[in-house]
Structure formats: C-alpha cells, structure tokens
C-alpha cells in the first residue's frame, strides 16, 4: 500500500512526524452511515480523544483504526504504512495496536500474569517472562500477579487490561471508554494515573469517550464528534472557551445562552448588561446573537447590578452550583465558592464577567 507524504525530521530542527493519520474515512453498517469524511493526525507520544454523544460514531472510528471495521472511502496510515483503504485492510494483529475495552475483557480463568502474557505468544519464553514482570511492576500489580480478575478491584482490573494491551509494546494504544465501569472518584483518579503513565512512557494513544472529564484528563487534543464527523479538533481549553459552533458549546461544559444584539465591532448588548469580546465579531451592527454564559462567568457580588433568586443548588464541596432566575426571568447557572452559601428562594446579586465571549448568530440555532 502507498505511504502518505509525511515530513521527515533532519538536521537540528525537530519535525513532528505523525504516527497515525486518518484521512477522510467513511464507514457504514449496511446502508447506514456511521462515520463520514473523518480525518485526524496523531503525533508520536501524543494522547488524543474522540468525544461525543452516544451513537455519534466514536467506537466505529476506533474500530476502523484498530482494523476491526472496513473503510468505504479514505485511508488510515500507522507509522507511514497504509493499513486501511477502500477494499483493503491490514488485519488487527499486524497493525501493532493495543486495545483496551470498556468492560476490560479480561480472561476470568487466567491469573493477572497469565492475562498479561496472553498477548505475547509470539515472544520467546524468557522474553515473555521479562515483559510480563516489567509491565506488572510498572502498573503496580506485581504483588497481585497470581490473583484472578474476580479477586481484584475495578481499578486493578483496569490496570491489568492496560498492562495486557501495552505488554507487546504496540505502536499505538486504543482505548474505548476505559473508565466507564468505574465509580466517579476512581474514574477521576485512574484518568489522571493513566494520563501520567502514558506521558512518562511516551505512549501514543487514541481514546474514545462520551465523558468530557475523561477526555480532558487524558487528551492533549480532543475531537468532538457529531453525526459521524469531527466538528472541532482542539485543546480542552479551546473547546471550553472557544467552541466553534452551538453544538460544541452545548456539549462541552455547562452554561446558558443569553440573547443579545451587536452594538459595536466587539460588543454585545444583553438584558443583563453589555459584554465585550477580545476579538472582532463578524456580523453587522444590530445582528441578533446568542451569547454563551458559563457558570464561572457569573460572579457573586453583593454590589452587582443583576438581582436573581436561587431556584436550585447543588453542593460540590469547594463550590456550589446555583440555578438562578433574574428579575427579568432569565435563567443563569452560577458557580460560587461554597462560602457564598444561599438557600433556595434567597435573592443574590451578581455581575457577569465574560473573559472569552462566545456568540453565535441567532438564525444558525437549531429549530
Ligand atoms: P456509544 O457511545 O453509544 O458507544 P458511539 O459514538 O461509539 O456510541 P457507534 O457505536 O460508533 O457510536 O455507532 C455509530 C452508529 O452506527 C450508530 O447510529 C449505531 O446505531 C450504528 N451501529 C453501531 N454498531 C452497529 C452494528 N453492529 N450494526 C448496525 N449499526 C450499528
């Protein structure tokens, strides 16, 4: 198969070389489209995530990269070798990818060390022993080597699944919702732990998830998917602060949309005051827009100009998330430090402090 044109490092300047290139792939189930014209590039040592709601095509895209699902158009390249194209597919075992599944898929009748060794049949006995011992040590599993999966906690099982996927030293690690069976606290801890481990060991990884916290914990870059396509490929920071369309703004984080009108090249008038953008807004003066107001844009301020009543509250430890209704019947979400402790029905004063103004023309909103 052909190789794509990739920049090759040379001399003293370091040129990033992609390990994975997905170029304009589409995948179907019978006649139903699941992935459409999807492209992405992952450099060596980079960790990326595909994030999107259920049914948007994340798993199908990952399965196409792994070699379990054919592509109808476009191509997939791993380490400069084309592994998928219309009508041709290098089998999964020849792609040098490691896979971690949602349910861990450990063999229940094999011990931890046997599970980790199960992907190393092509290794010599001594190399296999060494590779298993090394992975168990690195994953903090050495003292559980002889246990069976049912004798492990959810987090330990997850580590065994990772150890098994990484033991054959794959070029690329693929993970499908790896934390979804863990409870919230463990999930956050594992997300951070796995991210640190991948970074320390320079492992290139693609993860798919519908959970933005998982995606943000692990992804250097995150691709938000809708209807089989990536609608924004960006850093977690920019996805949150600079969403490119209404879908991404809605899907990432929380917030409400406030109606407004353009009053200057970078200013919007709203019922709750004038807001300004760091950059010029592209629409003509007077255009009707919707401005995204994040909970952290709503500041508790006893002298603030906006009076609102507390409709709901959710205690989150260091912070409290309030649902507020202004006197003009506008609903806001507000995240206050938890010493700003109000009861339902209390009236509070707030001001808006929007550092990154995100606005979309009103006519582009879905019906
Ligand atoms: P989830 O987060 O729920 O796993 P996803 O984003 O991973 O969803 P996919 O599993 O890739 O989405 O599914 C994409 C589309 O393809 C969906 O419309 C789904 O119904 C359809 N689909 C998935 N698997 C099959 C299948 N085996 N046969 C037919 N259609 C399928």
Domain end call among 249, 269, 286: 249
My answer on whether 76 and 112 are in the same domain is yes
Give the sign of the dihedral formed by CA 118, CA 119, CA 122, CA 124: negative
**Predicted pLDDT of residue 125:** 86
CB 178 within 8 A of CB 103: no
Sign, Cα dihedral of 73, 76, 81, 84: negative
Same domain, 153 and 169: yes
Q: Last residue of some domain: 196, 221, 249?
A: 249
Is the model's pLDDT at 152 over the cut of 70?
yes
Average pLDDT over residues 329-355: 94
Compute the distance from residue 188 Cα to the ligand 1 centre, in Å: 26
pLDDT at 15: 55
Quick one: 135 and 194 in the same domain?
yes
Give the model's confidence band at 17: pLDDT under 50 very low, under 70 low, under 90 confident, else very high.
confident
pLDDT > 70 in the chain, percent: 94
For the segment 196-203, the average pLDDT, to the nearest whole number, is 85
Residue 126 has pLDDT above 90, yes or no: no
Domain match, 239 and 287 both: no
Same domain, 259 and 189: no
Residue located nearest, by CA, to atom 29 of ligand 1: 29
Tell me: the pLDDT tens digits for 208-236? 999 998 899 888 999 999 999 999 999 99
- Residue 160: phi and psi, rounded to 5, are -65, -45
**198 lies in the same domain as 320:** no
- Cα 26 to ligand 1 centroid, rounded to whole Å: 13
Which residue owns the Cα nearest ligand 1 atom 1? 54
Which amino acids bring their CB within 6 angstroms of ligand 1? 29, 32, 34, 52, 54-60, 210
Residue 177: closest CA among 60, 92, 66, 59: 59
Q: Choose which residue among 25, 33, 60, 178 to substitute to test ligand 1 binding: the one with the highest number of ligand atoms within 8 A of its C-beta.
A: 60
Give the domain CATH number at 342: 2.40.50.140
Residue where a domain terminates, one of 249, 267, 300: 249
Dist. CA 29 → ligand 1 center (Å): 9
d(CA 23, CA 1): 14
Nearest-CA residue for ligand 1 atom 5 is: 55
175 Cα: distance to centroid of ligand 1 (angstroms): 16
Q: CATH number, domain at 69?
A: 3.40.50.300
What does pTM read for this prediction? 0.85
pLDDT of residue 225: 96
Are residues 267 and 239 both part of a single domain?
no
Q: Give me the pLDDT at residue 366, please.
A: 52
Strand order of the β-sheet with 229-234 is: 97-100, 172-176, 204-209, 47-51, 221-226, 229-234
Of 4-8, 96-100, 205-209, the poorest mean pLDDT is in 4-8
Query: What domain range includes position 311?
Result: 254-364
Q: What whole-number distance in Å separates Cα of residue 116 and Cα of residue 164? A: 4
Tell me, yes or no, whether 82 and 100 share the same domain.
yes
> Does the pLDDT at position 8 exceed 60?
no
Express each pLDDT in 23-35 by its tens digit. 999 999 988 999 9
On whether both 241 and 258 belong to a single domain, the answer is no
Query: What is the average pLDDT across 40-51?
Result: 94
Q: What total number of domains does the chain contain?
A: 2
Residue minimizing CA distance to atom 20 of ligand 1: 55
Instruction: Please report the pLDDT score of residue 363 as a whole number.
Output: 64
């Amino acid at each position: 198969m052909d190789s794509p044109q990739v920049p090759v490092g040379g001399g003293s300047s370091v040129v990033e070389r992609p390990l994975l290139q997905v170029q304009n792939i589409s995948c179907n189930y019978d006649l139903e489209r699941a992935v459409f014209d999807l492209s992405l590039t992952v450099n060596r040592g980079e960790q990326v995530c595909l994030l999107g709601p259920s049914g948007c095509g994340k798993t199908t895209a990952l399965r196409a990269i792994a070699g379990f699902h054919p592509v109808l158009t476009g191509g997939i390249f791993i380490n400069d070798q084309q592994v998928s194209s219309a009508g041709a597919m290098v089998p999964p075992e020849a792609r040098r990818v490691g896979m971690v599944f949602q349910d861990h898929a450990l063999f229940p009748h094999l011990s931890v060390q046997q599970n980790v060794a199960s992907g190393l049949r092509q290794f010599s006995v001594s190399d296999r022993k060494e590779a298993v011992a090394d992975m168990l040590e690195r994953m903090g599993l050495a003292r559980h080597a002889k246990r069976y999966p049912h004798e492990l906690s959810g987090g330990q099982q997850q580590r065994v699944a990772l150890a098994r996927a990484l033991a054959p030293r794959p070029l690329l690690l693929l993970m499908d919702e790896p934390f979804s069976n863990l409870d919230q606290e463990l999930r956050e801890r594992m997300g951070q732990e796995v991210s640190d481990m991948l970074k320390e060991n320079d492992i290139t990884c693609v993860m798919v998830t519908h959970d933005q916290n998982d995606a943000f914990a692990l992804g250097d870059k995150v691709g938000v998917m809708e209807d089989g396509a990536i609608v924004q490929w960006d850093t977690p920071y920019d996805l949150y602060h600079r969403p490119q369309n209404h879908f991404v703004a809605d899907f990432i984080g929380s917030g409400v949309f406030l109606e407004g009108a353009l009053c200057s090249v970078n200013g919007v008038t709203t019922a709750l005051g004038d807001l300004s953008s760091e950059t010029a807004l592209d629409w003509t003066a007077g255009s009707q827009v919707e401005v995204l107001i994040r909970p952290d844009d709503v500041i508790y301020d006893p002298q603030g100009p906006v009076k609102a009543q507390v409709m709901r509250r959710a205690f989150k430890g260091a912070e409290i998330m309030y649902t507020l209704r202004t006197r003009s019947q506008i609903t806001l979400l507000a995240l206050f430090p938890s010493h700003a402790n109000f009861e339902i029905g209390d009236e509070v004063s707030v001001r808006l402090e929007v550092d990154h103004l995100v606005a979309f023309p009103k006519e582009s909103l879905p019906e």
